[in-house]
Amino acid sequence: MGDSIRQEFVRQRTLRGTVTVCGIGLHSGRKAQMTLRPAAPNNGVVFRRADLADAPDIPARHDFIVDTRLGTTLGNGNARVATVEHLLSALAGTGIDNAWVDLDGPEVPALDGSASAFVLLVEEAGVERQETPRSYIRVLEEVRVEQGRHWAALLPGEGYTLSYRGDFAHPAFARGGQAHEFEFSAGGYVEQISRARTFGFLHEVAAMRRHGLALGGGLHNAVVFDDYRVVNEGGLRYANEPIRHKLLDAVGDLSLLGRPLIGRYRCFGSGHTLNARLMMELMQRSSAWEEVTGVSCAAGASRRPEPAGRLDSLTGLT
Q: What is the pLDDT of residue 299?
A: 41
Report the C-alpha gap between 122 and 87 in whole angstroms: 10
Using 50 as the pLDDT threshold, list the residues of the chain that sit under it. 1-7, 298-318
**pLDDT at residue number 7:** 42
Check residue 211 and give its pLDDT: 82
pLDDT reported for residue 8 = 52
pLDDT computed for residue 185 by the predictor: 87
Distance of CA 51 to the CA centre of its chain: 24
Catalytic residues: 272
Check residue 9 and give its pLDDT: 58
| DSSP 8-class letter at 108 | -
- Give, in degrees to the nearest 5, the angle at Cα 189 between 26 and 239: 70
Domains by residue range for the chain, with CATH: 9-134 (3.30.230.20), 136-314 (3.30.1700.10)
pLDDT value at residue 45: 99
Question: Radius of gyration of the chain from Cα atoms?
Answer: 19
pLDDT at residue number 318:
24
Residue 63 DSSP label: G
For the chain, how far is it from start to end, CA to CA, in angstroms?
20
Per residue in 192-204, pLDDT (tens digit) is: 999 999 999 988 8
Question: Any idea of the CA torsion for 197, 202, 205, 207, to the nearest 10 degrees?
Answer: -140
Q: How far is residue 252's CA from residue 225's CA, in Å, rounded to a whole number? A: 24
Interval 210-250: pLDDT, tens: 888 888 999 999 999 998 899 999 999 999 999 999 999 99
The predicted pLDDT at position 205 comes to 86
Tell me the pLDDT tens digit for each residue of 1-23.
Answer: 444 333 455 899 999 999 999 99
**Cβ neighbours of residue 16 under 8 Å, at least 6 residues apart?**
38, 125, 126, 127, 128
| pTM of the entire predicted model | 0.89
Q: What are phi and psi of 204, to 5 degrees?
A: -100, -10
Mean pLDDT, the chain, rounded, equals 89
Spatial separation of the C-alpha atoms in residues 243 and 102, rounded to whole Å: 30
